[in-house]
Amino acid sequence: MIYPVTSSPTGQQIASGQIINYLSRQEEFTVRSFQLKGYDRTSIKMPICVIKFVWQTVKLWTYLLRLLFYKPTAVYLNLGQSWMTFLRIGIWYSLLLRIRKNHYGIISLHGHWFTNWTTQSILSKTFVWILRPAEVITVLGNSQEISLIKQGISPDNIRIVPNTSTIDPLELDAISEKHNENSIKILFLSNLIPSKGFIEYIDTINQLSKLNLQIKVEAILCVKEMKCGYSEDFNCHSYLKQAIDEINLSSQVTLKHVPGAYGSLKQKLYRQSHIFILPSRIEGQPLVLLEAMASGCVPIATAVGEIPSIINDNEGILIDRPAPSLILKCILKLINEQTERKEMALNAASSYRSNFSISNYHQNWQSIFNEYKTTLSRDFHI
């Protein structure tokens, strides 16, 4: 199993880890993994970072070379969607499957970038060439499946495997209880990337702080800087401080910055929050949205990527663009209509349990590997 890792865990990394943890408990499988580390763009030790990146790439190519001499093996790749990833791993992985036709390729796609590529672009053609030898290509939802089919991938090779959450779901009684509270807690939890919508979130809370509210609102901005790959050129630290100081002049609305959260702290933030906001401009199927649903938050999110496959009108609010005026309108609706907010939170939590639980995720992957065992009729290693 080959998958990317960064200092700030991504959906790719978490999803791959879930598969490995599950298969490792099955006696019929032998699991080997290769963690592909990204390039640290924020380090001041540039020469050392370059050397580490090159060394990791050489180790990867050596690993793939060894796989040429393995007996028939299922080779899993969680594939990123950039030229760097294609050149570093995608092309060589595809060549491995083309040379060793008795290996069985499984590729997972978690990002949504490929759905925006034109079928005639070099990027799309390279992408499809990489995918073609794989026996199974997993995507997160229907729109990604449709996009792959349009780009020339056979639907027989596509499987929809929705994401899951590693967070413990909050009990329904506890969800009802927290939505009976007399104050409101709003949460934004993501990476410090402008495309995730943290600027729009801050602007929304700023507008909220200017209103004459009859209820106290505590907003949390939980963001962590990315160390590899996706950080955008935006120097926001002074902006954050100035915006937070201005908002906190309000007597009814406060904004607190939390520099990233994992484990028990992240779970605490979700469980104490009533509303979760994710005004992204591009997404796959964000884990944070599933975590929020599992924890009894009502999500407000942009209708991008596979987000519409996660929530409907009874479970949250979708907006067509990340405009602070739209987000503010949704927040005020949820503040003023407590009963409806509680019902939506309970519906979202129930949907998570029915469609996105860890057990569902494991069953989906068990079906994929059962299919291969039936098809191959012989033992193989993972």
Identify whether residues 146 and 82 lie together within a single domain.
Answer: yes
- Based on the structure, what is the number of domains in the chain? 2
Identify whether residues 97 and 211 lie together within a single domain. Answer: no
Q: Residue 306 domain-assigned?
A: yes
Residue 107 sits in the same domain as residue 250: no
Whether 66 and 23 share a structural domain: yes
Question: What is the structure's pLDDT at 116?
Answer: 92
Whether residue 318 is contained in a domain is answered as: yes
Q: 3-state SS of 310-339?
A: CCCCCCCEEECCCCHHHHHHHHHHHHHCHH
One domain for residues 159 and 255: no
Would you say residue 381 lies in a domain? no
CATH value at residue 112? 3.40.50.2000
> What stretches in the chain show pLDDT beneath 70?
8, 39-46, 225-235, 376-382
Cβ pair 299, 293 in contact under 8 A: yes
Neighbours of 302 (CB within 10 A): 24
Laid out side by side, the sheet with 317-319 consists of 253-258, 217-224, 184-191, 275-278, 298-302, 317-319
Residue 129 within any structural domain of the chain: yes
179 and 320 inside one domain: yes
Same domain, 131 and 280: no
Element (H, E) at 253: strand 253-258
Look at residue 64 and tell me if it is in a domain. yes
Q: Domain containing 6: what range?
A: 2-164+358-376
Same domain, 343 and 369: no
Residues 138, 290: Cα–Cα separation, whole Å: 19
Write down the pTM of the prediction.
0.88
| 109 and 246 inside one domain | no
382 falls within a domain: no
Query: How confident is the model over 324-380, as pLDDT tens digits?
Result: 999 999 999 999 999 999 999 999 999 999 999 999 999 999 999 888 787 765 544
| Strand (E) or helix (H) holding 276 | strand 275-278
Phi-psi map region of 145: left, alpha, beta (phi>0 left; psi -120 to 50 alpha): alpha
Q: Report if residue 32 sits inside a domain.
A: yes
Rounded to the nearest 10°, the torsion over CA 44, 50, 53, 57 is 180
The two structure tokens encoding residue 361: 């995720």
215 with 253: CB under 8 angstroms?
A: no
Based on the fold, state whether residues 143 and 230 are members of the same structural domain.
Answer: no
| Both structure tokens of 280 | 């992204």
* pLDDT for the residue 218: 97
Answer yes or no: is 282 within a domain.
yes
Exposed e or buried b per residue across 341-352, where buried means at least 16 C-beta atoms within 10 angstroms of its C-beta = bbbbbbbbbbbb
148: left (phi over 0), alpha (psi -120 to 50) or beta: alpha
pLDDT tens per residue, range 189-233: 998 888 899 999 999 999 999 999 999 999 999 998 654 444 444
Q: What b/e string do you get for 274-294 counting C-beta neighbours within 10 Å, with b at 16 or more?
A: bbbbbbbeebbbbbbbbbbbb
> Are both 264 and 348 inside the same structural domain?
yes
Neighbours of 198 (CB within 10 A): 25
Q: Kindly state whether residues 192 and 305 are assigned to the same domain.
A: yes
